[in-house]
């Protein structure tokens, strides 16, 4: 499976600020999925990022709050904007090839705490 | 709509014994994949095992096996010879043919292995 590097691994941020999370993969992938895991909860898909097109956001997530970049097939960023304590979560990226029968592998996640 | 259900919030098992973690799913898509992930307290998501909807035999990976009962729409994870390091959250997840390969997750089961 691909090697996935996610940065930062954790951060403590003040409310009202923004944090950009980077995800680097060692091979080209069709899609990049971004997930959020709120404390004690399961994973929820935020958006799907394809190169050269706007990311597709799931219900309840908007581009102004979670802008995503996908400049090439090995890299993506997720920004958490104008943060509030409710944004405290683990954020995980996962590269995908668009096939339902391939397991997704995840970066180690970014553990975000907003004070 | 696709749905994954894990009804066991927490499970205890004695070291060296086997344990079954339950997972049921719902989808009208004939093509789908079922996955199990382990999440230790450190937060990373570790892929364990995959079962495809067209697979005739139950998947096995080392001490992990997937009890796939298609008619009952269940995909239970069996861990044999439990070890202390198996203590973690376990998530059942599904992808389906109409998706882009993203996963839908259940709420998870917290497994505690007792010495």
Contact, B100 vs A48, CB < 8 A? yes
Q: How many CB atoms sit inside 10 A of residue A23's CB?
A: 26
Lookup: tokens for A90: 């683990």
Give the per-residue pLDDT at B100.
76
Give the per-residue pLDDT at B51.
95
Cα distance between residue B39 and residue B34, in whole Å: 17
Which residue in A has a C-alpha nearest to residue B45's C-alpha?
A106
Closest approach of B2 to chain A, Cα-based (Å): 13
Give the per-residue pLDDT at A108.
92
Tally DSSP H helices, then E strands, for chain A: 0, 10
CB contact under 8 A, B101 and A98: yes
pLDDT digits (tens, 9 = 90+) for B67-115: 999 999 999 999 999 999 999 999 999 998 877 788 999 999 999 999 9
Cα distance between residue B14 and residue B111, in whole Å: 11
Q: Position of tokens 């399961």? A: A42
Is the CB of A29 inside 8 Å of chain B's CB atoms? no
CB < 8 Å to B91, chain A: 42-43
Contact, A48 vs A41, CB < 8 A? no
In order along its 115 residues, chain A shows pLDDT tens digits of 789 999 999 999 999 999 999 999 999 998 999 999 999 999 999 999 988 788 999 999 999 999 999 999 999 999 999 999 999 999 999 998 778 888 889 989 999 999 9
CB < 8 Å to B43, chain A: 90, 108-109, 111
- Element spanning B86, H or E: none
Cα distance between residue A100 and residue B32, in whole Å: 6
Q: Which of B16, B23, B8 is nearest to B109 (CA)?
A: B8
Average pLDDT along chain B: 95
Instruction: Compute the half-sphere exposure of residue A86: CA atoms within 13 Å on the CB side of its CA.
Output: 3
Q: Which of B90, B98, B27, B33 is nearest to B64 (CA)?
A: B90
pLDDT above 80 for B48? yes
Contact, B52 vs B30, CB < 8 A? no
Cα distance between residue A3 and residue A27, in whole Å: 8
CB contact under 8 A, B44 and A111: no
Cα distance between residue A35 and residue A111, in whole Å: 12
Closest approach of A17 to chain B, Cα-based (Å): 24
Give the per-residue pLDDT at A102.
83
Q: Mean per-residue pLDDT for B8-35?
A: 96
Is the CB of A99 inside 8 Å of chain B's CB atoms? yes
């Amino acid at each position: 499976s691909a090697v996935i590097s996610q940065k930062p691994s954790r951060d403590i941020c003040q409310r009202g600020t923004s944090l950009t999370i980077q995800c680097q993969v060692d091979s080209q992938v069709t899609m990049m999925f971004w997930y959020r895991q709120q404390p004690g909860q399961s994973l929820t898909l935020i958006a799907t990022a394809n190169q050269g097109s706007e990311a597709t956001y799931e219900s309840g997530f908007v581009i102004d709050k979670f802008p995503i970049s996908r400049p090439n097939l090995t890299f993506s960023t997720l920004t958490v904007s104008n943060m509030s304590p409710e944004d405290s979560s683990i954020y995980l990226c996962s590269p995908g090839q668009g096939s339902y029968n391939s397991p997704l592998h995840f970066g180690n996640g970014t553990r975000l705490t907003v004070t | 709509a696709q749905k994954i259900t894990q009804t066991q919030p927490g499970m205890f098992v004695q070291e060296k014994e086997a344990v079954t973690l339950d997972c049921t799913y719902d989808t009208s898509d004939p093509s789908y994949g079922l996955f199990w992930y382990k999440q230790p307290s450190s937060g990373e998501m570790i892929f364990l095992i995959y079962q495809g909807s067209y697979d005739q035999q139950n998947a096995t990976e080392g001490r992990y096996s997937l009890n796939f009962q298609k008619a009952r729409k269940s995909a239970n994870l069996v861990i044999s010879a439990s070890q202390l390091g198996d203590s973690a959250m376990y998530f059942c997840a599904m992808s389906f043919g109409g998706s882009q390969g993203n996963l839908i997750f259940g709420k998870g089961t917290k497994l505690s292995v007792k010495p």
